[in-house]
Structure 1
């Protein structure tokens, strides 16, 4: 079984838990910090609210039913969809989308390789 890490995100008082392949967890955290740094520069009306990465850990036991794990690929797909929908005119949004899509492609390949190994 591949080694996973967990990225904990916080949005207001809500926590989100994203399960990432160990080699990509740092990339998600770094991407999240960069997006949070740049999002205030966007002038479009439909800019999504972003959670902030607050922690990473090697193991995670969720003790409350209202919390669930989201796969890294599901999270990055949702993020890509939200940023692709932004109608931005004044900021080079394509650079942020390129970073999101690069991690998305890496995760898609990782999950495909893991699926092949499991067969």
Structure 2
């Protein structure tokens, strides 16, 4: 398992992903950052900044928790799917989010999501 450390405006988030899928998560977040300003909706979803990734993580803050990648992607998909975008081809971004989420769902079904 690898961990991605993300920074929002108010907190740090720790997302756990299977090793071989971390690159896809980081690439997806970078792509979303690149494309989000092209959306024409007035309320854009807030995106965290990728701070770091690591193979081991020990949290000492009792209020901090690790978010499973599959749960993080489900939430990300909900936030983008709820947008009422009419000019930008939002479906392309949703397809990327859903594709990575589907890969993780498959791993869960096969018992390989560690």
Q: TM-score, normalised by structure 2?
A: 0.93
1:9-24 aligned within 5 A: 9-24=6-21
Moved over 2 A (4+): none
Q: Distance in 1 between matches of 2:83 and 2:10?
A: 25
Q: CA deviation at 1:45?
A: 2.5
Aligned position for 2:59: 62
Would you say how many aligned residue pairs link Structure 1 and Structure 2? 113
Match of 2:95 in 1: 98
1:12-61 Cα deviation digits (max 9, x unpaired): 24100000011111110110011011111111123211111111100000
Specify every segment of 5 or more residues in structure 1 that has no aligned partner in the other structure, as ranges.
Answer: none
Cα deviation code 1:75-104 (max 9, x no counterpart): 000000111001111111111001001001
Tell me if the contact between 1:44 and 1:88 (Cα under 8 Å) persists in the aligned partners. yes
Map of 1:31 onto structure 2: 28
TM-score normalised over the length of structure 1:
0.90
